[in-house]
Amino acid sequence: MKAKAAGNILFLVIAVLLTSNTYVMGQPEKIKVEGGWIQGSAENGLTIFRGIPFAAPPVGGLRWREPQPVEKWDSVRLTTRFAHSPIQAGNPAAGKSEDCLYLNVWTPAKSANEHLPVLVWIYGGGFSAGSTAESWYDGEQLAKKGVVFVSIAYRVGQLGFLAHPELSAENPGHVSGNYGLLDQIAGLKWIQKNIAAFGGDPDKVTIFGESAGAISVSMLCASPLAKGLFRGAISQSGASFGPTRPVTYPGENMKTLKQAEAEGEEYLRKARVSSLAELRKMDAEKLPMGWGTGSAWPIIDGYVLPEDQYKLYQEGKYNDVPVLIGYNSDEGLSFLPEKTPKEFIENVKLRYGRFAGDLLNAYPVGENTITKTARDLVRDAAFGWHNWTWARLQSETGKSKVYYYCFDQHPVYPKDSPDFGHGSPHAQDVSYVFQHIDPTNTQTTKSDLEISAAMGTYWINFTKYGNPNGKDVPAWPAFTNSKPVVMYFSQTPHTGPVPGEKSLKVLDMYFKWRITAEGERWVNSK
């Protein structure tokens, strides 16, 4: 009888191990998620799951539709390799496919009951490119700091954001576009339902992204569809507080649904088809894709984004969560199309009209070169003004704290260097946050390592507590309109004033005018 009882107990133990979400002897046990069982891999003290489907493949009749529930599978699904990246003009890591709605998880948890905070990455790429499989987005080092790290894929380019009258007509809400944002929301909903199986806490989710990923973060903070899906947000070089404009510029990228539908009709002509049905039948890789081909940016559709984000924040109609936001000191280096001061001045006049003179005084250009002071207009129009505005409006209308930063980590270049006067360009901060600064590289300085360590600590503290502060890092005061303090990552972490605030106030006059009836008439007449 004793032997039989012992055998029954052993059977029960084995049964529990085979049906529960546990990790046995350093090897990941299978985990049950929405859709079925998955199996990851044990790597460097973490359990990593790559290529978990969170929605049905958006192919065939699901092209240009909201993401649908994930399709179930029967056997244990091996999730040890990244899924294909979304269709785009270039050649992303892991290849590309229209079947692209997958996410990845790095977890340090040894059991499902650890309830760790969750940090969710949304990649950039101008909404026309991007991949979770890029090596610089590897979440290993951040996960080792005590969080469950997740990266979400979403549709980009025209497959992610095409609007068209036929698409709006077939939609119950009579809207179209913004499928890429809906993918992100679907991924966040999947996390709410499933992340506990990985040792994560669905009530402690923080979203973060860079560039288009950061713009996405700001839009998710404004979208009623994302309410309750996260408790904190980090935005690195990106936000969207500019008004709509028929001819867009960096910082004024948004269109109305009507404008985007008209652009979608032009897109069909470029694709040489006469109907949506024909366009759906086209091979995804033969579709016109990439920058400059239209319909590849989020829009104000009245559904995902109900209104101009500036107005939503003025009225307090947003997801009021703590935010950590900022940008790099010389973003203009990466987004300056002009080659000469003359060309720069002409384009400023074209974009800003009667405000051009004041802006050229506030952001002066050199006689023979486009100096950093001029590049800062590009930086602030696309990034600085939006983050500054986000910080001011949330401080005025919200309850949650704002932490504002400027990344300015770079060598001091000699006067005879072609890089003299350069600051930190777009995306330089990513490797610092992800803890990918190589200490063995001869170009790496002690200051680089200090800045990277500080940023990693601040980002993880914010994920864990909703506040970046803690031991081993300088105090980071919250930004308020009465005390507009900014954390600078420049040789050392230290606080200072808003970068170029005097010039920003001139630019702010332009943006405030743009949302007036006169400003709208002016852009629509051009």
Q: Which residues are designated catalytic?
A: 211, 331, 426
Tokens 């009258």 belong to: 165
Contact 330, 429 (CB under 8 A): no
Distance CA 69, CA 124 (A): 25
CA dihedral sign of residues 411, 415, 417, 421: positive
Residue type, 206: T
φ/ψ of 249, rounded to 5, equals: -135, 160
Q: Note every long-range contact of 34-38, with CB atoms under 8 Å and residues 24 or more positions apart, other chains counting.
A: 34/69, 34/70, 34/190, 34/193, 34/194, 35/70, 35/71, 35/72, 35/73, 35/77, 36/72, 36/73, 36/74, 36/75, 36/76, 36/77, 37/75, 37/76, 37/77, 38/76, 38/77, 38/78, 38/79
- Outline where DSSP puts E strands in 211-270: 232-236
First to last CA, the chain: 91
DSSP state of 224: G
DSSP 332: G
| CA atoms of 226 and 224, how far apart (whole Å) | 5
383 CB burial (10 A radius; 0-12, 13-18, 19+): buried
Helix (H) or strand (E) holding 490: strand 486-490
Nearest to 401 by CA among 489, 306, 474, 485: 485
Strand partners, 43: 46
The residue to which tokens 């190589």 are assigned: 438
Backbone angles phi, psi at 57, to 5 degrees: -55, 125
What is the distance between the alpha carbons of residues 136 and 130, in angstroms, rounded to a whole number?
A: 12
